Structure 1
Amino acid sequence: MASTIEIENKSKEIETEILPYIRVYKDGTVERLMESPIVPPSLQNPETGVSSKDIVISDHPSISARLYLPNSVQSNPKKLPILLYFHGGGFFMESAFSFLDHRFLNLLVSEAKVVAVSVEYRLAPEHPLPAAFHDSWEALNWVTSHSNSSDTNTEPWLHDHADFKRIYIGGDSAGASIANYLALRAGVETLKGNANIAGAFLSHPFFWGSTPVGSEPNEGASHLHARIWKLVYPSAAGGIDEPTMNPLGPGAPSLATLACSKLLVCVAGKDALRDRGLWYYDAVKNSGWEGEVKLFEVPDQDHVFHIYNTDTTAAKQMIARLASFLVSI
């Protein structure tokens, strides 16, 4: 039987839809058609032993996060690296509290032995970009503010267990685009606590542009990625070439200013975004950036495969590679 909401929405006028992902009605109602369910945090996850809890970073704007702590802290008092993580979903779907991201972070934190902060940033179209970028910058500064030991208003898991000389940022798809934005912004703005970003990983980054790269189709504004970008950032001055979507677009900051010493770019062989990820990796290498950039490609896999199918050999290899990167400094 159809729900009351479904019946009501059948009579509404659709403003835009990108199937099978999202439908937006002219009255402002939004239907997200493909999302994993929200799940609660847990103390000592049965599979990994990782503990998690939800916290509020800011009320205005509304920014929250799920924190993760490996069970190794019980037996080892050594301070751990910090991972500030950003989920994917095209800037319009999914959540830091979703089943898929919760499962992935539990596995990654268990293997890497890091303290993780998974950010719940605001989503488009209710909160169009650059809201997610601004929320993520606030979240990064909230984390780095804990590096000042004289501040009494701190989160205990960070204050007691985190090594603020080893701050990492990273994300998948749209989350990878956020990580790139933060690394570039931190290159020109000082973070709270005068903290530095040690490294960043970009998994299957959601980059695009008006000029095709590699094997990308020449479909212009009709392409799925261009339609998503128009939905999530309708005011973007450069359209699909706005620098947060096209890091080599007109007016984009130099990649030589990335504010980290290590960078890992991950691509998947069957991902429609693969060539754009390779293009970004080559651009960083040739930018004059003084850090160390590595590429990790998993053939015969599709976009964010390691989030959807964590039990596969390929996903385990991907998680192991991310884990090794997070303890490499």
Structure 2
Amino acid sequence: MTSTNSATSTATKEIETEFPNLIRVYKDGTVERLFGSPIVPPSLHDSDTGVSSKDVVISDHPSISARLYLPKFAQSEEQKKLPILVYFHGGGFCLESAFSFLDQRYLNLIASKANVIAVSVEYRLAPEHHLPAALEDCWESLKWVSSHSTPTNAGEPWLINHGDFNRIYLGGDSAGGTIVHNIAMRSGTEDLPGCVKLAGGFLSCPYFWGSKPVGSETEEGHEQSLPLLLWNFVYPSAPGGVDNPTINPTAEGAPSLASIGCSKLLVFVCGKDQLRDRGALYYEAVKNSGWNGEVEGEDHCFHIFTPETDNAKRVFDRFASLLV
């Protein structure tokens, strides 16, 4: 498949699959993404936050990269070691980028507010790369970060010089929150390099769904709901479909949430979000799973698009209080 963000070259092509205002796939394999902010370069000392950023290659086969963020307080060798946030962007597993304007602005704010080193992962997207490709990329990225706890000469200096490997956190919004759950579960059963253990994570507006309605969801139209149709688009071979534990952690037969591999979780849901009841169900399920950790829930408005609002500022304050 080929990808494009321009409608000019696709005006006469026949459409195979379309999610209006989100993504369109043509019968010749061309993919047109209709949603997302423009790609921007990293910056040395962001004008608003003082945070510096740079891009690194994690793997060539498959292609995995990341944008690293270093707060201005850490840009001196005398500074103490800082927590490390491994972040996974949202976009329904098929949109957006770690290199986009919105994510650049968002991670600059998080790195500055929480005084953390951030590693924003550029994972492969569907439909060019169906799930579980994104999950594998994010796991490999966490392993790459963890490997710096026992550094070699080829290590990344920002992580080696400034990172505290006893305080590695995961974070993600929407589909990124789904990834946080899955990577945290995997870290509970598989070892990371250097015997690193995750300290915690936040799931903001996580993209969870299932075949049966919960909470305020209704039977009418459920089988044609956007979360269900989009899931079938990004992971058409998922065992169990939309009740696969990847997207439905509370499905019958799903692995116990007691095996989540970190000690703190923060779950945010948005009051007007179609996915809010799934996030609340997940929060309750984790609390009642027997997991030996601390889970907190919050209800806030979406904060990536309007970070200047009072509600968004409260979200950043809660993130900062977690990442310590």
TM-score (norm 2): 0.96
2:181 counterpart residue number: 180
**Separation in structure 2 between the aligned mates of residue 68 and residue 178 of structure 1, nearest angstrom:** 20
Q: Which amino acid aligns with 1:243?
A: P
**Separation in structure 2 between the aligned mates of residue 122 and residue 4 of structure 1, nearest angstrom:** 16
Verify: 1:11 aligned to 2:9, yes or no. no
Give, in angstroms, the shift of residue 37 of structure 1: 0.4
| Equivalences for residues 98-177 of structure 1 within 5 A | 98-149=100-151, 151-177=152-178
Verify: 1:316 aligned to 2:316, yes or no. no
Give, in angstroms, the shift of residue 40 of structure 1: 0.6
Give, in angstroms, the shift of residue 47 of structure 1: 0.2
| Equivalences for residues 295-314 of structure 1 within 5 A | 295-298=297-300, 301=301, 305-314=302-311
Give, in angstroms, the shift of residue 8 of structure 1: 4.2
Q: Which amino acid aligns with 1:52?
A: S
1:40 counterpart residue number: 41
> Is 1:179–1:202's contact at 8 Å kept on the other side of the alignment?
yes
Cα offsets for 1:232-283 (capped at 9, x unmatched) = 0011111111111100123321100000000100111111111110000000
Structure 2 counterpart SS, 1:259:
coil
**Separation in structure 1 between the aligned mates of residue 13 and residue 248 of structure 2, nearest angstrom:** 35
Structure 1 counterpart SS, 2:303:
helix
Q: Which amino acid aligns with 1:316?
A: K
Q: 1:285 aligns with which of 278, 284, 287?
A: 287
Structure 2 counterpart SS, 1:117:
strand
**Separation in structure 1 between the aligned mates of residue 217 and residue 161 of structure 2, nearest angstrom:** 47
Moved over 6 A (4+): none
Residues 106 and 7 of structure 1, relative CA distance in 2, 3 Å threshold: closer
Give, in angstroms, the shift of residue 13 of structure 1: 1.5
Structure 2 counterpart SS, 1:42:
coil
CA RMSD of the aligned region, Å? 1.4
| Higher deviation after alignment, 314-323 or 245-254 | 245-254
Cα offsets for 1:165-223 (capped at 9, x unmatched) = 00000100000000100010011111111100000110000000001110013223310
> Is 1:69–1:115's contact at 8 Å kept on the other side of the alignment?
yes
TM-score (norm 1): 0.94
> Is 1:167–1:199's contact at 8 Å kept on the other side of the alignment?
yes
Structure 2 counterpart SS, 1:283:
helix
**Separation in structure 2 between the aligned mates of residue 5 and residue 309 of structure 1, nearest angstrom:** 26
> Is 1:242–1:250's contact at 8 Å kept on the other side of the alignment?
no
Give, in angstroms, the shift of residue 74 of structure 1: 3.4
Q: 1:222 aligns with which of 218, 221, 224?
A: 224
> Is 2:64–2:122's contact at 8 Å kept on the other side of the alignment?
yes
**Separation in structure 2 between the aligned mates of residue 237 and residue 15 of structure 1, nearest angstrom:** 24
Q: Which runs of 5+ in 2 are unaligned?
A: none
1:210 counterpart residue number: 211
Give, in angstroms, the shift of residue 73 of structure 1: 1.3
**Separation in structure 1 between the aligned mates of residue 44 and residue 186 of structure 2, nearest angstrom:** 35
Q: Which amino acid aligns with 1:44?
A: H
Give, in angstroms, the shift of residue 10 of structure 1: 2.7
**Separation in structure 2 between the aligned mates of residue 274 and residue 155 of structure 1, nearest angstrom:** 38
Q: Which amino acid aligns with 2:304?
A: I
Q: Which amino acid aligns with 2:63?
A: S
**Separation in structure 1 between the aligned mates of residue 255 and residue 147 of structure 2, nearest angstrom:** 26
Structure 2 counterpart SS, 1:307:
coil
Residues 30 and 4 of structure 1, relative CA distance in 2, 3 Å threshold: closer
Aligned residues: 319
